[in-house]
């Protein structure tokens, strides 16, 4: 549909050929196309923003999950982790060497950790130990002159607490009243 007549142009009478050929349909078509493009751009923008928002939510959820699990671990460790006992405590220490021979020590100590008790025994003179400080704590390499060399023959000194395999290194193993500690020379397979 044209502006003035079915045949006539919107810019009829104008000298310019370009403007002369523009019809109302063309103008409407361009406007419609422009509007469609705009809607399309908005939709794409909304989708991208939605995706970004969704990803952001997922990241936040992940970080919350990490923080929650971390908090649970810390609470459990605080509640059930090793606890030291102050004051004087009775103890028994046994050293079982590579030949299965046992040497026993008994007494009372104020040490909170096993390494402190070992230092006390060493100061008394009848007990000696050597160890290295690793990232996992004190690693015992020798007791009473008997060296366990894992690199050589997969030998190591095991710690038993009240008959069960110790769960902590000597410097983080708490000493409780009446505890029975064993240092046993063992070999891996």
Partner 1 sequence: MISSLCMKKDSKRRFTIRDIAAMGMMLALIEVSKRALEFLPNVELVTLLFMVFTLNFGLEVLAVSVAFTLVETAFWGVNNWVIMYLYIWPAEILFVHFTRRHASYWFHAVFSALFGFCFGALCSIPYLAVGGWSMAFTWWVAGIPYDILHGVSNFALCLILYRPLMAATKRAAVFLRDAGRSKSG
Residues at the interface with partner 1 (CB under 8 A): 55, 58-59, 62-63, 65-66, 69-70, 73-74, 76-77, 80-82, 134-136, 154, 164, 167-168, 188-189
Q: Which one, 72 or 122, has the nearer CB to partner 1?
A: 72
CB of 122 to partner 1, least distance (A): 25
CB of 156 to partner 1, least distance (A): 10
CB of 61 to partner 1, least distance (A): 8
| CA–CA dist 128, 109 (Å, integer) | 17
In the block, which residue shows the tokens 């405590």?
89
In the block, which residue shows the tokens 């000493």?
175
CB of 66 to partner 1, least distance (A): 5
Q: Which one, 17 or 189, has the nearer CB to partner 1?
A: 189
CB of 59 to partner 1, least distance (A): 5
CA proximity to 94, closest of 23, 180, 33: 180
Q: Which one, 121 or 173, has the nearer CB to partner 1?
A: 173
Q: Which one, 125 or 163, has the nearer CB to partner 1?
A: 163
Q: Which one, 39 or 63, has the nearer CB to partner 1?
A: 63
Q: Which one, 3 or 76, has the nearer CB to partner 1?
A: 76
Strand partners, 109: 89
CB of 39 to partner 1, least distance (A): 27
């Amino acid at each position: 549909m044209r502006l003035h007549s079915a045949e006539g142009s919107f810019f009829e009478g104008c000298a310019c050929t370009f403007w002369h050929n523009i019809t109302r349909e063309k103008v409407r078509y361009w406007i419609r196309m422009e509007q469609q493009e705009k809607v399309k751009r908005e939709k794409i923008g909304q989708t991208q923003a939605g995706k970004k928002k969704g990803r952001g939510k997922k990241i936040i959820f992940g970080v919350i999950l990490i923080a929650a699990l971390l908090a649970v671990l810390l609470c459990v460790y605080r509640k059930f982790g090793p606890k030291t006992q102050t004051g004087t405590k009775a103890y028994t220490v046994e050293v079982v060497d590579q030949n299965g021979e046992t040497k026993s020590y008994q007494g009372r100590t104020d040490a909170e950790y096993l390494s402190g008790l070992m230092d006390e025994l060493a100061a008394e003179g009848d007990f000696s130990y050597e160890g290295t400080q690793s990232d996992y704590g004190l690693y015992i390499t020798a007791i009473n002159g008997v060296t366990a060399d894992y690199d050589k023959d997969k030998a190591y000194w095991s710690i038993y607490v009240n008959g069960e395999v110790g769960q902590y290194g000597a410097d983080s193993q708490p000493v409780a009243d009446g505890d029975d500690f064993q240092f046993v020379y063992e070999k891996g397979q």
